Chains A and B, each alone.
Chain A
């Protein structure tokens, strides 16, 4: 009987804990996206524009590109190491280089990439700071 009571209490507290942690997870996710938006406004928006549609001939769109919603490591590398090879995106090439943004912290890179993967009509998974750290610590490809 006592045991049963304990069990109920235990289960209740488990449930409560789960609810709280689930709640805090989405809270921190939205906080991370808000932080990502801040990073985007300061460091990416000038080139890729507020609507993520970029600048014709110069800077590519981030809306609906596989580079953004596809491979996480490729995406992290673009921000950490930059790009100079011409990319063809939706049948257009873009003439500016994309500089390395390695001066951003792992958390900032993770947040801004999570933000662009979930903005401008994009829908893709969040990126964690640990994933950025892993890409930063390996030697950049030559």
Chain B
């Protein structure tokens, strides 16, 4: 009896904390890779960051007990993240660790927290403000961030619009030329990390013509910025005379770009079409599904099937995975909604092999099975939706999910 209650007690203990691993939803991975769930049920976990000691920081887009950031730590080094620290009273998406600071974003502010020599946050309740006053009009307001090695932070300021129509998302409303949104959104802005309390006007518009570049990472191999962008919605619904249910589900492409300072990716005037391999003029700007446009805009490295929502990008720096993964790109696809009534697509992590900053082969699905079903006919039934990516110091890949709030750790162990 005593033995039984001991076992029962152990069982309850293991199931008690929300940070305890629970074995659900195994992922399909290439051979030699293994996944474990290192966090579960934290709700809307958006982007994540992993510190050199293995601490995981999760940015929540819905407060849990009044807190918007959670740090998980395996203090006793038994493989379970049992130590939970919650802080930050704001929701948001972006998070990253750089040069002794934890950075986190709400939809209008970039905060940061000094980390001490023991990798603890010096004052969790009093973050510094790096930049305040970034455009937040709810739509595409998530502020993803990354860093170069020259002391800059890059932030995505998504366009609060589908395709810069006079009346947003209204069938028949014409597109605006020039699109006024591009002055303070629809691109990537660069700020200094050495000056506190900056405002929007202290930043530099680094690149433009991006509807919502939710995936953003700096590629150290070639010292350049890379982004993944969410393409426009509603081609079929607004223009059934040019697109049908199938082509409207496949188009426009979701895109992956290499971006130099001053580049323009063409939104809102054009979308990428991965069947024609062209920048196609949007119908709101006089397009007919074939006419090209925006001759000065750059083309993407890869065009993916439509609406899959590339929410995170990570250029792999580590040595744990086999050689072909080094300097390649992992992209977390949140999973579509704008393909209805066709089945939804995405809900997986993709890999693009790259060398010298350019793709060397076709993209492939790397981690699948997050939705827990195939095909996904009902978005509301999908169990998990990949949203964030992070790399551990040991080269492990972490994937977060903002549906149930899980984090997976993927290792290579043949």
- Prevailing SS type, chain B contact patch: loop
Chain A, interface residues (CB within 8 Å), range: 20 to 34
Flag if B44 contacts A46 (CB, 8 Å): no
Q: List, in ascending order, chain B residues with CB within 8 A of A130's CB.
A: none
Contacts A46-B233, A46-B340, A56-B403 hold; do A96 and B379 have CB atoms under 8 A apart?
no
The B-contacting residues of A in range 19-47, CB under 8 angstroms, are 41-43, 45-47
Cβ contact of A57, chosen from B44, B168, B169, B234, cutoff 8 A: B44
CB distance from B149 to the nearest CB of A (A): 33
Flag if B170 contacts A55 (CB, 8 Å): no
CB distance from B176 to the nearest CB of A (A): 15
Flag if B44 contacts A100 (CB, 8 Å): no
Q: Residues 50-69 of chain A: 1 if any B CB is under 8 Å from the residue's CB, otherwise 0?
A: 11011111110100000000
Query: Does A97 belong to the interface (CB within 8 Å)?
Result: yes
Flag if A55 contacts B139 (CB, 8 Å): no
Flag if A103 contacts B61 (CB, 8 Å): no
Cβ contact of A45, chosen from B138, B240, B341, B377, cutoff 8 A: B341
The A-contacting residues of B in range 231-248, CB under 8 angstroms, are 233-234, 237, 240
Cβ contact of B378, chosen from A41, A51, A57, cutoff 8 A: A51
- A3 and B26 alpha carbons, distance in the complex (Å): 84
Query: Does B172 belong to the interface (CB within 8 Å)?
Result: yes
Cβ contact of B341, chosen from A50, A56, A97, cutoff 8 A: A50
Q: List, in ascending order, chain A residues with CB within 8 A of B62's CB.
A: 92
- A59 and B234 alpha carbons, distance in the complex (Å): 14
Q: List, in ascending order, chain A residues with CB within 8 A of B167's CB.
A: 99-100
Flag if A49 contacts B170 (CB, 8 Å): no
Query: Does B152 belong to the interface (CB within 8 Å)?
Result: no
The A-contacting residues of B in range 260-319, CB under 8 angstroms, are none
CB distance from B284 to the nearest CB of A (A): 13
CB distance from A45 to the nearest CB of B (A): 6
What residues of chain B have their CB less than 8 Å away from a CB belonging to chain A?
44, 61-62, 138-141, 167-172, 233-234, 237, 240, 337-338, 340-341, 377-380, 385, 402-403
Q: Which 3 A-B pairs have the closest CB atoms?
A: A53-B380, A99-B169, A99-B170
Please list 15 pairs of residues, one from A and one from B, whose beta carbons are closer than 8 Å in the complex, sorted by A's number: A42-B237, A45-B341, A49-B337, A49-B378, A49-B379, A51-B380, A53-B378, A57-B402, A95-B139, A96-B138, A97-B168, A99-B167, A99-B168, A99-B169, A99-B171
